[in-house]
Structure formats: structure tokens, C-alpha cells
Amino acid sequence: MLALTATRPDLATAAPVVEVLSAGKIFPNGTRALAPIDLAVGQGEFVTLIGPSGCGKSTLLKLMANLIAPSDGRLLWWRGGYDDAVSRGRQVAFVFQDPTLMPWARVAANVRLPLDLAGTPRAAADARVTAALARVGLTDCAHYYPRQLSGGMKMRASIARSLVIDPDLLLMDEPFGARDEFTRNRLDDDLVRLCFERRLTTVFVTHSIYEAVFLSSRVVVMAGAPGRIFAALAIDEPQPGRKASATPHALRNFAVRCRGCWRRRRGPERDGGKLDATWHSQGGQRRRRAIPPRLRGGCKGRIFGEARSGGALLRRRACNPTRRARAHHPPRRRGGIRPLRP
């Protein structure tokens, strides 16, 4: 049976591969995607980021890949800057949600692309491509075009392209989210085997609690508005000895703890912030309607319709600017003729 602990005991002694030191992100339009975050990923760890949509998981992953720069704080790769790590021969690979294969090139050419860009000799590159395809079970598909592959096979080719450079850090942004359950389970099994055989440091983003428990050595729970880390849960039993049939109890406990973290964060709030309200009239009565914080200011107090009820003029205020309430009109006869009033 799997055991969940709040921390990972060997992190203090393991040299971190990537460190996030009070790094936050504010986009040019003013959106605060990440609050200051502190996170360290040790050598050989499989860390999964899980949380609701919009909590900054992909943004944090792109910070680790040096695809975007933090607005505050800093990141370290192998206790140094990213350029220093690359100059020392360290490799970072990123797997996107979509396979992003070149449709006009064969599978072997797609997998060889990073080596071609790096100027690797063709003979050495072909040998590494053959080895990468063998790791993901696509040896017989090297001459295929992407259109001849299934969805799962395309994702395998994308993973092979990331493995062909022998990465020291593998970052995966929900690569199996669009796959069916059977394909997803097979890809999870293959990923566990690959990472365990090579002791590959991996950071994985998913929305599946089951997938997080099955794959990970440590799960980081995030919540949004702005994105931040609320809990880090370590799974004691190592892969690949962990069996899917042994996970239900740990899965249930983990799901309860994840929901507990989100409830403690949100409390009675919605959309990551406190509720606001505005008064509006409906049916001759005054009622209070909650307004999410993302809609506050722009729509509060906006008059968008008038109606008559019981001889009194009612002014109704908007709660959502994209929804327009219709003013109440007297019933019409066929042909659009309004009935005469006495």
C-alpha cells in the first residue's frame, strides 16, 4: 500500500536540479499568474504539478524551461544560471500538450530535428534517433509520416524527440490529456519505465489525481488567483514497483488531502477571491446577487434594462457584462400587433 507524507526526507541532501526562489510572474496586461513560489526539484525526482485550471501550472513549467522570465525572484539550474548550465553540457527538454510534429517530414526526421539544429553529424544523429525510437516502441514507424500515426503514436514520437538529446531535465506539460484512457495508461507505463531506467529528473503537469499518484515521487498541489503552492505530498513507494492495483487507498487519501488544501484556501470564496454583491430589483423585491471579483468594477452599477412591474419602474443591474437581461414587455399577438390598453 502506498504511503503519503507531507515532505520528502531526502531533499535536504540531494543536489537540486532546478530551484525556484521566490519567483513570481505578472504578464504585460497586468494579470498576476504566479505569486512568489519556492520549489526545489532534486536529482532523479518525478514531480507532478496538479491543481485547477488557471492556477499557473504551465506558467511555472515554462519558467523552469527558461521559456519566459520571472517578474520577481529568480531560478537556478544546477546551482547556476541557465546559460551556465547549457555551457556545461546540461540539456533541458520540453514536451508540449500537442505533439507539434512537422507534417511534411517523416518520423525519423522529426525526432532528429534537435540534433540537426545542434549540428550533430548525420551518422551519429541517426544512431541516436534509432535508439530513441526503440525506447518508445516506434522502431518500425521511422519512415512513416505523422498523418499515418495514431494520437498515442504521435505523442510517443514527440517524447522520442525530447529523449534524443539525452536530457538531464524533462518538462512535460500535460502531454497525455487529450488521449483516451487506454492509450493514456499505456503511455504512463512507458513513461515510468523510461524515467526509472535512466533516473531522469521529470516535472509533469496533469489534471488527473490518479495519474499524479501513479507516476510521481512527489506531488505539488497548486491553487490559483494568483497561482501558488499549498502542499507538497511525497509518495514513499518507488516506481516501477508501484502497481496500479495498489493505488486505490492512497488515491482516495490523496484526493481527500487535495480537496482539503483547496477548501482551506478558498473557504467561502469563489473564483479565488471574496464575493461582492450588488442590489437589483426583480418581481417587486430587492435581492442580493454575488459578483465574482473578475467582474467587479466594470459591470457593477451598470444600468442595462428597464421594466415595469406593478406600475413601478425597475432598474436592473448587471452581474455579468456578457449576459444581457431582457426587459419585460407585454405579450404580443400574432403578427407582432401589440394589444390595446384600456
Give the tens place of pLDDT for each residue, 264-300: 555 433 433 333 333 333 444 444 444 454 444 444 4
* Residues 131 and 216 grouped into a single domain: yes
CB 255, CB 290: distance < 8 Å: no
The verdict on 88 and 134 lying in the same domain is yes
pLDDT at 7 over 80: no
**Claim to verify: residue 280 and residue 255 sit in the same structural domain:** no
Evaluate whether residue 322 is within a structural domain: no
- Cβ(64)–Cβ(18) below 8 Å: yes
Q: Is residue 47 part of a domain?
A: yes
Cβ contacts of 11 within 8 Å, gap of 6 or more: 40, 42
Once rounded to an integer, what is the mean pLDDT over residues 238-248? 55
- Domain membership flag for residue 325: no
Residues 227 and 246 in one domain: yes
**Do 303 and 245 belong together in one domain?**
no
Do 171 and 307 sit in the same domain of this protein?
no
Each residue's pLDDT tens digit, 221-231: 998 888 899 88
Among the residue ranges 70-74, 105-109, 321-325, the one predicted with the least confidence is 321-325
Q: Please indicate, yes or no, whether residues 216 and 285 belong to a single structural domain of this protein.
A: no
| pTM of the full structure | 0.70
Tell me: do 145 and 254 sit in the same domain: yes
77 with 30, same domain: the answer is yes
Q: Which of 27-36, 54-63, 287-296 has the lowest mean pLDDT?
A: 287-296
Tell me the per-residue pLDDT of 308-337, one tens digit each, with 9 for 90 and over. Answer: 444 444 444 444 444 444 444 555 555 555
Averaged over 229-244, what is the pLDDT? 71
Tell whether 323 is covered by a domain. no
* 192 lies in some domain: yes
Q: Are 3 and 250 in contact (CB under 8 A)?
A: yes
Higher local confidence (pLDDT), 60 or 292: 60
Pair 214, 157 in one domain: yes
Higher pLDDT, 255 or 313: 255
| Alpha carbon separation from 63 to 73, 78, 82, 146 (Å, rounded) | 11, 15, 11, 30
DSSP, res 337: P
Answer whether residue 95 shows pLDDT above 80.
Answer: yes
Whole-number average pLDDT of the chain: 75
Q: Which residues pair with 173 in a beta bridge?
A: 205
Which cell numbers in the block locate residue 287?
435581492
Q: Does residue 114 form part of some domain? A: yes
User: pLDDT tier at 210 (50, 70, 90 boundaries)?
Assistant: confident
Confidence of residue 23 (pLDDT cuts 50, 70, 90): very high
- Per-residue pLDDT at 11 exceeds 60: no
pLDDT of residue 334: 54
Among 225, 247, 266, the domain-final residue is 266
Q: What is the number of structural domains in the chain?
A: 2
Give the pLDDT of residue 248: 55
At 15, the pLDDT band (50, 70, 90 cuts) reads confident
Do residues 34 and 178 share a domain?
yes
Residue 342 forms part of a structural domain: no
Residue 59 neighbours by CB distance under 10 Å: 20
Count of beta carbons in the 10 Å neighbourhood of residue 209:
18
- Domain membership of residue 222 as a residue range: 4-266
| Same domain membership, residue 256 and residue 112 | yes
149 confidence band (pLDDT: 50, 70, 90): very high
CB 188 within 8 A of CB 177: no
Query: In angstroms, rounded to a whole number, what is the distance separating the alpha carbons of residues 101 and 107?
Result: 8
